[in-house]
């Protein structure tokens, strides 16, 4: 076990201990996922996709070994998150204590990596691969696991993986960029503004450079996928892309990139022109930059035809043996077992706060990956007492074996018992 909540009340994450406090909400089942290093198993679909993307950016430094624990300053403050931003809430984020958490995005490392070259911080720089092409971290990619409290279903998991890309440019670099063409035009205006201190001309050039880079990367990866799979209707070599104005605290202007793939618009990533304050705090205020970030699982599920996100964590050789390094291939289902549904209904105590994600974490902690999905099926407020009632349906289903009612009944009893002891609910 790589990460455990110790009986001494200290939390051990990959050999470093943290003292818990009132903010602590990281569960043992989540801590156990730290250090699994799926991105370092070269035949794992996520690692294959990571390598394909790294190969598309040969002039960027590559990072994929940065530890999962960051400070609240790194994860939120350095990126301009407002104090009341919902991402800071304990209902969304796994805290080790008030000052340390399991990173919720790879953007938590932006300032750290940009500043490392200026301060010659070898504790950070030592993680770089391909460092010689960007010795000052002026261009880098970060691939890592990230952690968020979330619902339970086939496409959501509390631990997933992101790819972050950052490219910074000097004023001279911007002037050398290829002139913008009509295809490079992106929506910039009052609702998606140029930052003070940036010129519209420079922003259009930087955004066009980002757009061309991203279009090229996505087209090459999707072309490889269609060439490998040869599915009906998958012979396309051109993939229409649309850029939708968006908002992120750490970029402006900002966009979400979507690509038409197999007849559906697929959200690829969020991206934009970096907030100049980040560069200023990294002692690089004489530069301008663009950045992108996206989840690897969503794209990998599509490219490898993987139907359930839990499969990425499977140790069953019938899954892992289907894939080979540097190759995109379609997953072949090896088993199909029926779910075992169980309902749990309860009154919420007025003396305890309760969020849907509290139940999700509790179920994951008790059932692990036997929990296939959890859905709210009924809720109401008693007209006389004002008490709130909720009913959730939990579908238990193993990906590699049949489960028994006796086994699931035992798990369900533990779920019900912990709901009472930890959240003060009244079972119905």
Give the pLDDT confidence of 37-76 residue by residue, as tens digits.
Answer: 999 999 999 999 999 999 999 999 999 999 999 999 999 9
Proportion of the chain in helix, strand, coil states, percent, rounded to 5: 35, 25, 40
Are 200 and 187 within 8 A, CB to CB? no
DSSP codes, 270-328: EEEEEPHHHHHHTT-TTEEEEEEEEEHHHHHHHHTT---GGGGG---HHHHTT--TT--
Number of alpha carbons in the 13 Å side-chain half-sphere of residue 239 = 29
The answer for residues whose C-beta is within 8 angstroms of residue 94's C-beta and 6 or more apart is: 25, 26, 27, 30, 101, 102, 147, 148, 149, 158
**Cα maximum dimension of the chain:** 71
Q: What is the pLDDT of residues 247-295, one digit of tens each?
A: 999 999 999 999 888 788 988 899 999 999 999 999 999 999 999 999 9
Structure tokens at 269: 């990533």
* pLDDT reported for residue 366: 97
For residue 329, give the 3-state DSSP assignment.
Answer: coil
Q: Round to whole Å and give the CA distance between 396 and 121.
A: 47
- 162 membership: H or E segment, kind and range: strand 159-170
Are 278 and 252 within 8 A, CB to CB? no
pLDDT above 60: residue 235: no
Q: What is the pLDDT of residues 373-421, one digit of tens each?
A: 999 999 999 999 889 999 999 999 999 888 999 999 999 999 999 999 9
Structure tokens at 67: 């530890």
Q: What is the pLDDT of residues 133-149, one digit of tens each?
A: 999 999 999 999 999 99
Mean pLDDT of the chain: 92
Structure tokens at 119: 């301060």
pLDDT above 60: residue 4: no
Handedness of CA 98, 102, 107, 108 (dihedral sign): positive
* pLDDT reported for residue 182: 67
């Amino acid at each position: 076990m790589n990460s455990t909540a110790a009986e001494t009340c200290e939390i051990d994450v990959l050999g470093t201990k943290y003292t818990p406090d009132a903010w602590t909400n990281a569960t043992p089942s989540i801590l156990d996922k730290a250090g699994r290093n799926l991105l370092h198993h070269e035949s794992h679909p996520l690692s294959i996709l990571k390598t394909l993307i790294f190969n598309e950016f040969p002039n960027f430094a590559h990072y994929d070994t940065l530890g999962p624990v960051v400070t609240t300053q790194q994860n939120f403050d350095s990126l301009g998150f407002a104090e009341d931003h919902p991402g800071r809430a304990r209902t969304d984020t796994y805290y080790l204590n008030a000052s340390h958490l399991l990173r919720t995005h790879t953007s938590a490392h932006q300032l750290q990596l940009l500043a490392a070259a200026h301060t010659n911080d070898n504790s950070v720089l030592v993680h770089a691969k391909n460092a010689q092409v960007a010795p000052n971290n002026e261009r880098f990619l970060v691939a890592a696991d990230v952690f968020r409290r979330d619902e339970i279903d086939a496409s959501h998991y509390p631990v997933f993986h992101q790819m972050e890309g950052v490219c910074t440019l000097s004023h001279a670099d911007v002037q050398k960029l290829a002139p913008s063409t009509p295809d490079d035009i992106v929506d910039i205006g009052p609702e998606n503004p140029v930052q003070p201190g940036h010129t519209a001309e420079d922003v259009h050039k930087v955004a066009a450079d980002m757009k061309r880079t991203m279009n090229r990367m996505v087209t090459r990866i999707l072309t490889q996928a269609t060439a490998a799979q040869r599915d009906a209707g998958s012979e396309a070599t051109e993939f229409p892309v649309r850029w939708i104005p968006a908002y992120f605290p750490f970029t402006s202007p900002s966009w979400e990139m979507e690509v038409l793939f197999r007849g559906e618009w697929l959200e690829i990533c969020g991206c934009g022109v970096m907030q100049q304050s980040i560069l200023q705090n990294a002692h690089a205020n004489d530069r301008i930059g663009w950045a992108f970030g996206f989840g690897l699982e969503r794209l990998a599920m599509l490219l490898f035809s993987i139907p359930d996100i839990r499969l990425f964590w499977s140790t069953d050789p019938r899954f892992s043996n289907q894939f080979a390094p540097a190759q995109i291939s379609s997953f072949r289902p090896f088993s199909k077992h029926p779910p075992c549904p169980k309902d749990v209904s309860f009154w919420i105590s007025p003396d305890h706060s309760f969020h849907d994600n509290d139940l999700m974490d509790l179920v994951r902690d008790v059932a692990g990956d036997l929990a296939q999905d959890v859905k709210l099926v009924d809720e109401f407020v008693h007209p006389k007492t004002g008490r709130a009632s909720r009913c959730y349906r939990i579908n238990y289903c193993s990906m590699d074996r049949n489960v028994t009612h006796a086994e699931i009944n035992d798990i369900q009893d533990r779920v019900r018992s912990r709901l009472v002891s930890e959240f003060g609910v009244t079972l119905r």
